[in-house]
């Protein structure tokens, strides 16, 4: 089961980090971008080629340090079809290297349309006698606003293909209070969403008690993260907001259970932009060093069984 | 301003219909699909080429009947990069024919990532000295769960490029009750979302009093649609759920103000699959007939000034 594989990789690496592959032109060394501009002009194709080279460099450098990666779809989508090709190739290359791959696309729609999104990421689309998965991954982030018939479509493919979803619950951004903290009766909406995810996962729990229906809960809201951990011992967390967004190691400690299980901690800029702070052109080596430092920092406080 | 252009096209066509371009293989005449399979094999590229031909046929046939179209991103995404190329070409071709183009992608993310989505659909991404818009459209559907810093990024481009958003409010699916009808204090969440959209639109209203911050409100929930119309006279509605999902003309009448303004009514399967009911291979002619019939049916009850 997908969530068990994630837990075991975190244990084997003694590292709960997921490296966010969120490329932007300004995050790439100038000469890398220039090389592709020289070859293909100032085109989305050139940037897409540069992103892919950049991502592969990062993926090669982190493969024995970081158990999981999370490409953020938006940055690829902004480059159109060429960017989506790079998104696809990034997912495939990461899987080839053994990474647990989380596609961060935050999809959600009415049932019949959610089916198409689920086929794009988790399941397969039948094309004649062939089967095609556009953006293959182990897990997908999903938006809860459309309700259970949206989630159901993704869960079908979780069950059939051994995949996982992370439902947006309490996101890392400041304005997550606007909707997610609306009081629904005596509890904030994000807890209602967590309850719905917990219920959907109840019959799907794996060897470690966690279900493949996880939630997103930001490191920038440590009190909410703690409250969620206490109330929902079977919910696995994807925790964004560590590093550049302000979350520190002490903000995420309560995300784990006493076996060091229950959460993956995302860091994007802190890893892929480490070369800028280190003032080196070797972005891959800088990413490796930053990822190792993050791992070691967390290891001081959490043990992974 | 984008919302004014939409209102004027609805008035000029005396038709508030938006044709949903939601292709699936089973919606296409077999010989059309086969032609592309013969040329390109059972591949996503073949299906993407078939979708584009199908869409162009529909767009050509409806151009003097229907003022707006709404391609649903999911069905293109399921075909990967080739599908996204068809999505892009569909948006461009629709714009070329003068349609008001609504991209239905329901995007939403934290601020910096929402920026990338907004650049992909509404704004532009600077690539060296060039500017690129991956999936150009007049309006985009947006998910409210992430809160105002998500919306803000899209609104920047609405202001700068004269675009529009439709925020998901009360969607047409049965399980829209799960989250959207949670009681937040004394009002359901979808009304809180409508309020937030109304507030964001207050300083942005156009010549007809409507703002470019619209909301999605389903024909399948006529009571809620009516309540929203009464409470929010400046909110423009994108109304899905007419036709195959069960909404009838009497369910949508209250979406309009007394000038016949305030709403576009989506119909997807009822138009693009009309050839199946009509038992004809001429899908474009059947779509045209179905779209004209829908227009005439609405015209009996609503006048457009």
Mean pLDDT of the region B9-37: 98
Q: What's the mean pLDDT in B213-218?
A: 97
Tokens of B278: 């009509």
Mean pLDDT for all residues in chain B = 96
- A47, A108, A120 ranked by CB distance to B78: nearest: A120
Rounded Cα–Cα distance for residues A44 and B112 (Å): 20
Question: What residues contact B248, with CB distance under 8 A and at least 6 apart?
Answer: B219, B242
Per residue, the 3-state secondary structure of chain A, as one string, reads: CHHHHHHHHHHHHCCCEEEEECCCHHHCCHHHHHHHHHHHCCCHHHHHHHHHHHHHHHHHHHCCCCCEEEEEHHHHHCCHHHHHHHHHHHHHHHHHCCCEEEEEEEECCCHHHHHHHHHHHCCCEEECCEEECCCCCCEEEECHHHCHHHHHHHHHHHHHHCCEEEEEEECCCHHHHHHHCCEECCEEHHHHHHHHHHHHHHHHCCCCCCCCEEEEECCCCHHHHHHHHHHCCCCCEEECCECCCCECHHHHHHHCCCCCCCEEEEECHHHHCHHHHHCCCCHHHHHHHHHHHHHHHHHCCCCCC
B109 vs B181: CA distance, rounded Å: 22
Tell me what pLDDT residue A202 has.
97
Instruction: Identify the pLDDT of residue A204.
Output: 97
Band (pLDDT 50/70/90 cuts) for residue B130 is very high
For residues A161 and A263, what is the distance between their CA atoms, to the nearest angstrom?
Answer: 22
Cβ proximity of A268 and A21 under 8 Å: yes
Give mean pLDDT, residues B119-147. Answer: 97
Whether the predicted pLDDT of B198 surpasses 90: yes
Q: Is the model's pLDDT at B56 over the cut of 90?
A: yes
The Cα–Cα gap between B206 and A41 comes to 40
In whole angstroms, give the CA distance from residue B66 to residue B100.
9
Instruction: Tell whether A176 is within 8 A of chain B (Cβ).
Output: yes
Kindly indicate the confidence band of residue B137, based on its pLDDT and cuts at 50, 70 and 90.
Answer: very high
pLDDT at A235: 98
Chain B partners within 8 Å of A172 (Cβ): 110
Written in H, E and C, the secondary structure of A203-265 is HHCCCCCCCCEEEEECCCCHHHHHHHHHHCCCCCEEECCECCCCECHHHHHHHCCCCCCCEEE
- Residue A49 has a pLDDT of 98
Q: Which position has the token pair 């005449």?
A: B29
Partners of A216 in beta bridges: A168, A238
Q: Report which DSSP code applies to B72.
A: B
Q: Which residue's entry shows tokens 């714009």?
A: B95
Rounded average pLDDT over B130-155: 97
| Beta bridge partner(s), residue A37 | none
**Is the confidence at residue B47, as pLDDT, over 90?**
yes
Residues of B designated catalytic: 106
* Sole residue written with tokens 């702070």: A277
- The beta-carbon neighbor of B145 closest among A74, A84, A145 is A145
Give the pLDDT confidence score for residue A184 in this predicted structure: 86
Q: Which of residues 98-127 of A touch B (CB under 8 A)?
A: 106-111, 113-114, 116-117, 119-120, 125, 127
Structure tokens given for B300: 């009996």
**C-beta atoms surrounding A174 within 10 Å:** 16
Question: What is the length of chain B?
Answer: 305
Q: Any chain A CB within 8 A of the CB of B266?
A: no
Pairing outcome for strands A68-71 and B164-170 = unpaired
Q: Kindly state the average pLDDT of the residues B50-75.
A: 98
The answer on pLDDT for B184 being more than 90 is no
What's the whole-model pTM score? 0.98
pLDDT of residue A246: 83
ipTM computed for the complex = 0.97
- Tell me which of A35, A56, A106, A156 is the catalytic residue: A106
Alpha carbon of B155: minimum distance to chain A alpha carbons (Å): 15
Q: Does A49 touch chain B (CB under 8 A)?
A: no
Give strand pairing partners of A167: A142, A215
At residue B281, does pLDDT exceed 90? Answer: no
Tally Cβ neighbours within 10 Å of residue A220: 23
Q: In whole angstroms, what is the distance from residue B2 CA to residue B6 CA? A: 6
Report the share of chain B in percent with pLDDT over 90.
Answer: 95
**In this structure, what is the dihedral angle of CA atoms B118, B120, B121, B122, given to the nearest 10 degrees?**
50
Strand partners, B188: B183
Q: Pick from B22, B149, B178: which is nearest to A174 by CB? A: B149
Q: Is A46 exposed, middle or buried (0-12, 13-18, 19+ CB in 10 A)?
A: buried
In 3D space, the residue among B159, B5, B1, B154 whose CA is nearest the CA of residue B68 turns out to be B5
Residues of chain A with pLDDT under 50: none
pLDDT of residue A243: 85
Residue that has been written with the tokens 């509404």 in this structure? B122
| Contact status of B195 with chain A (Cβ, < 8 Å) | no
At residue B226, does pLDDT exceed 90?
Answer: yes
């Amino acid at each position: 089961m997908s969530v068990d594989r994630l837990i075991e990789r975190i244990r084997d690496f003694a590292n709960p980090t997921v490296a966010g592959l969120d490329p932007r032109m300004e995050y790439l060394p100038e000469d890398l971008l220039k090389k592709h501009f020289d070859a293909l002009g100032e085109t989305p194709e050139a940037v897409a080629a540069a992103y892919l080279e950049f991502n592969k460099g990062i993926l090669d450098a982190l493969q024995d340090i970081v158990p999981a990666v999370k490409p953020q779809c938006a940055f690829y989508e902004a480059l159109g079809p060429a960017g989506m090709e790079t998104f696809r190739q990034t997912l495939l290359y990461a899987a080839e290297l053994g990474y647990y791959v989380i596609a961060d696309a935050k999809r959600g729609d009415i049932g019949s349309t959610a089916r198409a999104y689920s086929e794009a990421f988790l399941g397969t689309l039948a094309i004649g006698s062939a089967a095609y998965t556009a953006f293959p991954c182990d897990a997908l982030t999903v938006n809860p606003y459309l309700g259970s018939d949206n989630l159901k479509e993704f869960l079908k493919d979780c069950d059939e293909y051994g995949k996982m979803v992370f439902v947006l619950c309490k996101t890392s951004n400041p304005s997550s209070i606007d909707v997610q903290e609306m009081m629904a009766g005596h509890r904030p909406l994000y807890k209602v969403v967590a309850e719905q995810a917990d219920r959907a996962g109840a019959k799907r729990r794996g060897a470690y008690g966690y279900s493949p229906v996880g939630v997103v809960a930001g490191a920038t809201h440590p009190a909410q993260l703690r409250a969620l951990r206490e109330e929902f011992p079977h919910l696995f967390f994807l925790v964004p907001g560590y590093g550049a967004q302000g979350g520190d190691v002490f903000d995420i400690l309560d995300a784990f259970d006493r076996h060091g299980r229950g959460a993956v901690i995302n860091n994007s800029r802190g890893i892929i932009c480490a070369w800028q702070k280190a003032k080196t052109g070797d972005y891959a080596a800088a990413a490796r060093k930053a990822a190792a430092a993050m791992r070691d920092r967390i290891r001081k406080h959490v043990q992974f069984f």
